[in-house]
Amino acid sequence: MLFFCTLAKVLYLIQDMNLLLRILLTAGLVLIISNFLPGVHVDNYSTSIIVAIVLGLLNIFIKPILVFFTLPVTILSLGLFLLVINAIIILLCDNLVQGFDINNFFTAFIFSILMSISQSVLSRLLQIK
């Protein structure tokens, strides 16, 4: 019985570590993409960590509501409207976090596409779930 309790604690710590790695990975990507994409400005690395946390919270709480209310449009566009929702989430994060600025919707759209692709590739390479 003690073995299973210890195993459960280890698995819980691994899940926490994966969450921490994902936040740090997202923060690093925000900083890197902001250096290459004109129209995106991040003050420093601590701001990018805050952006990563806020993006995660917005994706957990706000994105499902937006997806639900725009479901007919999403179905008609064969899912491509989800890219627009991602850009809206990025713009909401821009409004919430001081030191993170995005100039316009098109820049947020490109930023969200680059973030999605780079997060997928790096998560796959680093085997982060």
- On whether residue 42 sits in a domain, the answer given is yes
Structure tokens at 46: 């601590």
CA distances from 126 to 21, 42, 49 (A): 10, 25, 19
Tell me the pLDDT tens digit for each residue of 32-84: 999 999 999 999 999 999 999 999 999 999 999 999 999 999 999 999 999 99
Contacts of 12 (CB under 8 A, 6+ apart): none
User: Does residue 54 lie in a domain region?
Assistant: yes
Does residue 5 lie within any of the structural domains?
no
Name the region of 39 (left: φ>0; alpha: ψ -120 to 50; beta: rest): left
* pLDDT value for 106: 97
Distance CA 77, CA 41 (A): 31
Report CA 15 to chain centroid distance, whole Å.
17
- Are the CB atoms for 112 and 83 separated by under 8 Å? yes
Residue 1 lies in a domain: no
The reply to whether 8 falls in a domain is no
Reduced to 3 states (helix: H, G, I; strand: E, B; else coil), residue 48 is helix
Question: What is the domain extent for residue 21?
Answer: 13-126
Q: Which residue has the higher pLDDT, 115 or 6?
A: 115
Identify whether 121 is part of a domain: yes
Total of domains in the chain:
1
Mean pLDDT of the chain: 88
Global pTM?
A: 0.85
For residue 48, tell me if it sits in a domain: yes
Residue 63 lies in a domain: yes
